[in-house]
Chain A
């Protein structure tokens, strides 16, 4: 049984700060890792994915992957109130085409 763990939050940061969201996973065979953002009452949308150890940057977002420690994180630089949402971590293994989602972390960015 694959498990993906996230702190439910809420994580509160002031506008302009760096928000750090963390996720751990149980299946060492997992190969691809995804971060989705979900605004209240809306559907999830993909922010970025990563499959190699290290950092991957896309604008204000940086995904970090450490397979040895089985964690993946998402950093949001210069956080904006519009970043306030629930962030879902998802994991895909080598044998499955499906994703296993964590329960999500709620981020609140205050002006």
Chain B
């Protein structure tokens, strides 16, 4: 099992460009999450999806949109990238035998917006 996979691993954008970060999990988890991690700020939740077909805002949703394409995939879209969105983005999932007690994280996408 690959666990949680994310693409791309690295990306450089110019201000105003758009892009979609992809996330997929093969653990049959119901819940999926998008976080951003900035130096000195810890992990902050952007959006989450408790089940296929539902999405909810987290702590810092402005400037982002998400799509829960199916049970496996949860994508994060930046419509018009800004330098403030330079960050490391982590996708996570939970909901297997351990319930929602353990979130499994992907390897992250390091995004730079110039």
Chains A and B form a bound pair: yes
Q: How many A-B residue pairs have CB under 8 A?
A: 41
Do A102 and B106 touch (CB < 8 A)?
no
Contact of B45 with A8 in the complex, beta carbons under 8 Å:
no
**Chain B residues within 8 Å of chain A by Cβ, number:** 21
Q: With A44-B105, A45-B105 given, is the CB distance from A99 to B90 under 8 Å? A: no
Chain A: residues with Cβ within 8 Å of the partner, total of: 20
Q: Mostly helix, strand, loop or mixed at chain B's interface?
A: loop
Q: B90's contact among A44, A46, A103, by CB below 8 Å, is which?
A: A44
* Given known A-B contacts A43-B106, A44-B105, A97 and B42 have beta carbons under 8 A apart: no
Contact bitstring A97-110, B, C-beta under 8 A = 1, else 0: 11111111000000
Chain A interface residues toward B at CB < 8 A: 8, 32, 34, 42-46, 49, 88, 90, 92, 97-104
